[in-house]
Amino acid sequence: MAIPINVRREGDAEGGNRFAGARFSGPVGIADPRGRMDMIGALVRAARDEPAIDGLAFFAPVLARLPAPLISRLAGGLTKANDLQASNVPGLRGDIYVAGAQIERLYGFGPLPGCAAMITLVTHGDTCCIAANVDPAAITDPNRFGRCLEQGFAEVLALHPGAAPALRRI
């Protein structure tokens, strides 16, 4: 799987994206949800502490001068080996309205950059909304995939008494 890792350091200028991609094997063999979450946390911390995590920034000025089709081919080559890409997007903190109606949830459907599934979490107030975009050639039973995601989130939420249950919308 691949996830973005925040590489913004204290003293960096505000604004813009400051992240690097990290790839690791998801611990799907750990049945206990707490143990699985602990392992994922350890993998993310190890990726964040990797000295070369922001190595691509070194090459960015050169990459920016390459033709767009070549950049797309390079990026696609990096992501097509990923079964899953996950991302999180901080949402708006306050109430928002469109034509007088309050927006209660925001779902971010990320693009499929060659991977089988892109799962995006968007926070909005006290709510987390998770959207899954799947490649139908790779995930041939999207309903089953959705049920598995829902069951996985239910396992994690059960670790926190009083947490609201996952709500699945199609």
Both 170 and 91 in one domain: the answer is yes
Taking only the tens place, the pLDDT of each residue in 109-119 is 888 878 899 99
Both 57 and 17 in one domain: the answer is yes
Both 96 and 134 in one domain: the answer is yes
Both 168 and 100 in one domain: the answer is yes
Taking only the tens place, the pLDDT of each residue in 14-64 is 776 677 778 888 898 999 999 999 999 999 888 888 776 666 666 666 667
Both 90 and 58 in one domain: the answer is no
Both 61 and 88 in one domain: the answer is no
User: What sign does the dihedral 102-130-128-47 (CA atoms) show?
Assistant: negative
In total, how many domains does the chain have? 2
Both 61 and 89 in one domain: the answer is no
Among the three residues 65, 100, 120, which one is the final residue of a domain in this structure? 65
Both 51 and 88 in one domain: the answer is no
Range of the domain at 161: 84-170
Both 150 and 91 in one domain: the answer is yes
Both 99 and 152 in one domain: the answer is yes
Taking only the tens place, the pLDDT of each residue in 62-114 is 667 777 777 666 665 666 678 889 988 888 878 889 999 998 888 888 888 78
What is the pLDDT averaged over residues 108-134?
A: 88
One-letter-per-residue 3-state SS of the chain: CEEEEECCCCCCCCCCCCEEEEECCCCCCCCCHHHHHHHHHHHHHHHHHCCCCCCHHHHHHHHCCCCHHHHHHHHHHHHCCCCEEEEEEECCCCCCEECCEECCCCCCCCCCCCCCEEEEEEEECCEEEEEEEECCCCCCCHHHHHHHHHHHHHHHHCCCCCCCCCCCCC
